[in-house]
C-alpha cells in the first residue's frame, strides 16, 4: 500500500486486502440494535473493521469499493458470514439465545452462487437458528439488480432474515417496497438526523412506518445521536433503533459485556 504524497490518500491494492485476510487483520465489531418501546437490546449489526499494521484503522467505505472492483469482496463476504455465524454460536453457548446479528453483504456477494451454498453450510455446521442472522442489502443496489430477487427469496426460505439498508436514499418509490423481499427496513440516518424539528422528515418517516407496518416489515432507524430523536420515533411506533446515543460498534469482548448487562437488567 502506498500513500499518495500529494493527497495523503492511502492507495490500497488487491495484495493488501489478500494479506489482511490471511494475517487476520480484519475484525467484526458490533453495534447494538435497541427495541424502541422497551430499551432492550434486540441484537447488533456486525461492521467490518480493518487494523492495518502500518496505516492503522481503514474504514469500510475505503476498502469495500476496492474489494468490489477486484473480486475480493467474495472472500471478504465469506469471512464476514463465517465470523458472524461463529459468534452467534459462541454467544448462544454462553446463554445469550435470543438476539439477532445483522451483517452487510455487497450485492456482488449476493449475486455469486457460492454465497448461498456457504450460508446453507454455515447453518448446518454451526447449528445456528437461521432467523438469528439478518443480511443487510443496500436499497440502491437491491433495486438495481432485479436478478438477485430469486436468491434473496431462497435465503428467506432457508429462514435467514433480510433487511434493506440505507432505505430512502435511493430513487425507489414507496410502492416498490411491496415487491422487495425483505423482513426489515433500515431508514437511513439522513432522515433521522433532524427528525425532532423537521416536519418533512417526520412525514417521510411516519409514511415509511405506516406502509412497512401494513406490509408486516420491521423498521429500524439508523444513526440515533440524541434523545429527542428517540421520543419522536417512539411516538411513531418505530420498532428498533441504533446509533451512537446507545453505543458505537464495539469489539466482540465489549459486546459480550453489553449482552450480559442487558440480561441482568431485563431478567
Ligand atoms: P451501514 O451498513 O449503513 O452501517 C452504518 C454506519 O453508520 C456504520 O459506519 C456505523 O458505524 C455508522 N453509525 C452508526 N451509528 C451512527 C451514529 O449515531 N452517527 C453516525 N454519524 N454514524 C453512525 P461504518 O462502520 O463506517 O460502515 C459504513 C458502511 O460500510 C456501512 O454502512 C456498510 O454499508 C459498509 N460496511 C460495513 N461493514 C461491511 C461489511 O462487512 N461488508 C460490506 N459489504 N459492507 C460493509
Ligand atoms: Mg448496514
Ligand atoms: Mg445503513
How far is ligand 2, taken at its centre, from the CA of residue 52, in Å? 22
Per-residue pLDDT band for 244 (boundaries 50, 70, 90) equals very high
Q: What is the domain range of residue 116? A: 2-257
pLDDT in tens, 194-232: 999 999 999 999 999 998 999 999 999 999 999 999 999
Q: Does the residue 151 lie in any domain?
A: yes
Q: From the CB of residue 260, how many other CB atoms can be counted at a distance below 10 Å?
A: 13
- Residue 75 in contact with ligand 1 by CB distance below 6 A: no
Average pLDDT over residues 5-16: 66
Domains in the chain, number: 1
| Residue from 60, 73, 251 to probe ligand 1 pocket by mutation (most atoms less than 8 Å from CB) | 60
Nearest CA to ligand 1 atom 25: 47
Q: Which atom of ligand 1 is nearest to the CA of 60?
A: 30
- State in Å: Cα 205 to ligand 2 middle: 18
Coil, strand, or helix at residue 98?
A: coil
Arithmetic mean of pLDDT, 48-67? 92
Is 262 among the domain residues? no
- Asked whether residue 58 is domain-assigned, the answer is yes
Q: What is the mean pLDDT of the chain?
A: 92
Query: Using a 6 Å cutoff on CB, does residue 65 contact ligand 1?
Result: no
Residue 4 pLDDT grade (very low, low, confident, very high; cuts 50, 70, 90): very low
Please work out whether the CB of residue 48 comes within 6 Å of at least one atom of ligand 1: yes
Runs of H (alpha helix) within 127-238: 139-144, 149-158, 189-192, 199-214, 227-236
Instruction: Give the pLDDT score at 179.
Output: 76
**Band (5; pLDDT cuts 50, 70, 90):** very low
Q: How far, in Å, is the centroid of ligand 2 from the Cα of 188?
A: 10
User: pTM for the complete prediction?
Assistant: 0.95
pLDDT tens track for 131-171: 999 999 998 888 888 888 999 999 999 999 999 999 988 77
Q: What is the pLDDT of residue 106?
A: 96
Does residue 242 fall inside a structural domain?
yes
Cβ of residue 180 lying under 6 Å from some atom of ligand 1: no
The CA-based dihedral angle spanning residues 38, 184, 32, 247, taken in that order and rounded to the nearest 10 degrees: -90
C-alpha cell at 73: 469482496
* CATH number of the domain residue 203 falls in: 3.20.20.450
Q: Is 267 a member of any domain?
A: no
Could you tell me the distance, in angstroms and rounded to a whole number, from the CA of residue 165 to the centre of ligand 3? 5
Is residue 266, in this structure, part of any structural domain at all?
no
Examine residue 92 and state whether it is found in any structural domain, yes or no.
yes
Whether 263 is in a domain gets the answer: no
Q: Who has greater pLDDT, 23 or 3?
A: 23
Q: What percent of the chain has pLDDT over 70?
A: 94
pLDDT at 172: 66
Query: At residue 120, does pLDDT exceed 60?
Result: yes
Mean pLDDT for 173-193 is 86
Amino acid at each position: 500500500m502506498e500513500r499518495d504524497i500529494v493527497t495523503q490518500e492511502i492507495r490500497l491494492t488487491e495484495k493488501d486486502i489478500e494479506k489482511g485476510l490471511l494475517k487476520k487483520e480484519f475484525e467484526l465489531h458490533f453495534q447494538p440494535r435497541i427495541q424502541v418501546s422497551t430499551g432492550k437490546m434486540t441484537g447488533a449489526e456486525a461492521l467490518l473493521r480493518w487494523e492495518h499494521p502500518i496505516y492503522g484503522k481503514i474504514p469500510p467505505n475505503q476498502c469495500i469499493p476496492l474489494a468490489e472492483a477486484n473480486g475480493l469482496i467474495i472472500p471478504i463476504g465469506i469471512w464476514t458470514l463465517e465470523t458472524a455465524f461463529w459468534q452467534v454460536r459462541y454467544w448462544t453457548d454462553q446463554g445469550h439465545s435470543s438476539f439477532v446479528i445483522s451483517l452487510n453483504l455487497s450485492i456482488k456477494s449476493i449475486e455469486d452462487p457460492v454465497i448461498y451454498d456457504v450460508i446453507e453450510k454455515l447453518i448446518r455446521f454451526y447449528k445456528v437458528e437461521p432467523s438469528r442472522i439478518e443480511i443487510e442489502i443496500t436499497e440502491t443496489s437491491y433495486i438495481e439488480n432485479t436478478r438477485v430477487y430469486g436468491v434473496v427469496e431462497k435465503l428467506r426460505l432457508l429462514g435467514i432474515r433480510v433487511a434493506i439498508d440505507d432505505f430512502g436514499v435511493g430513487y425507489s418509490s414507496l410502492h416498490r417496497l411491496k415487491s422487495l423481499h425483505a423482513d426489515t427496513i433500515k431508514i437511513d440516518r439522513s432522515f433521522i438526523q433532524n427528525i425532532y424539528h423537521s416536519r418533512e422528515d417526520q412525514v417521510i418517516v411516519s409514511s415509511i412506518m405506516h406502509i412497512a407496518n401494513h406490509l408486516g416489515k420491521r423498521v429500524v432507524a439508523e444513526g440515533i445521536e440524541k434523545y429527542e430523536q428517540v421520543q419522536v420515533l417512539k411516538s411513531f411506533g418505530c420498532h428498533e433503533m441504533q446509533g451512537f446515543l446507545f453505543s458505537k460498534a464495539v469489539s466482540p469482548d465489549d459486546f459480550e459485556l453489553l449482552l450480559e448487562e442487558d440480561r441482568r437488567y431485563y431478567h
